[in-house]
Amino acid sequence: MIRVEVPLGDRTYDVLVGHGVASEVGALLPASTRRALVVTQPGIPVTVDPGVPFETVEVGVGEDHKSMATVESICRAAARFGLTRNDCIVGVGGGMVTDVAGYAAASYHRGIAVVHVSTTLLGMVDAAIGGKTGVNLPEGKNLVGAFWQPSGVLCDLDALATLPPRELRCGRGEMAKYHFLTGDDLLAMPEAERIARCVQIKAEVVALDEREGGRRALLNYGHTLAHALETATGHALAHGEAVAIGLVYAAHLARELGRIDDDRVDDHYAVVAKAYELEVGLPAGLDRGELIALMARDKKALDGLTFVLDGPAGVDVLAGVARSAIEGAFDRMAAR
């Protein structure tokens, strides 16, 4: 088992990475906990025993259920069970589960504790770490939510053995992002170390910028187009798949703006398409105008169209990107 600390002062918590670590869930509950509500989905291969009286509520499968209605159903289940402000919600599942469980915890009684047991690669390296919770609206992804740090996170590697190939690809999309943030060759590491290193990278960034006022936005590399693609395709394109495409598009946009050269664009293809074996072409039939409109609604868009882009000093945030450059990057990508 590998333990990674997310250092946030008096809200510091541990992330445990290893086989069978879901059995440690009781040790991560706050001492005040007298009962717990376990939030999960049908078919999740991990069961937990929090060590206190608990009830389980299952939420629907798929992005359509990442909604305010789902959060309401969790909070109503918590009320029926009699959870108090001193009790805890435990989210067991992938990123969708930990997002809705975390947002319900942030909202119920104006905030109760939450512990996450992540069961997907994407959740382990990204969604369950750092305290970002939220739900989708028809107008865009993750537009409603809260920053609400968990009391602890468990990344049980046993769950990965049951993941279908597409779920593993989704996790690799986020891993590829970390490659460009650090230059680490994550695929050369053993599985547990690779996942723990991703957690460590994210923990370091979150500790410096918990509420995404600056540096934390770097964790959204590739995500501006990715979120638009998810919405435009009705979530037929999964998050990690969309991030892979978004990373390559961001490279073309950086090249269009003169921030990087052709060799650096080639590096993105070498990592995302070759090393991580991910598809990087835009899906056919999408309307550029719709994608640009969706990107303009991105929650990072503080001053016009905003992107996280590679450059001579590494990856950073660039606001107010001209539409002509965005169109030019689409053209470059289509011509590749």
Provide the annotated active-site residues. Answer: 110, 132, 174, 202, 212, 216, 220, 223, 227, 239
| 3-state SS assignment for residue 277 | coil
For 250: left if phi > 0, alpha if psi spans -120 to 50, otherwise beta; the answer is alpha
* DSSP per position, 60-113: -SSGGGSSHHHHHHHHHHHHHHT--TTSEEEEEESHHHHHHHHHHHHHGGG--E
Strands (DSSP E) contained in 94-252 are 113-118, 132-137, 140-147, 152-156
Please, which contacts does 234-237 make with residues 24 or more away whose CB atoms are closer than 8 Å?
A: 235/62, 235/63, 235/64, 237/283
Q: At what angle do helices 165-182 and 191-208 cross, to 10 degrees?
A: 50
Residue 90: closest CA among 33, 161, 169 = 33
Enter the tokens of residue 53.
């009286």
| 3-state SS assignment for residue 201 | helix
The number of beta carbons lying within 10 Å of the beta carbon of residue 49 is 12
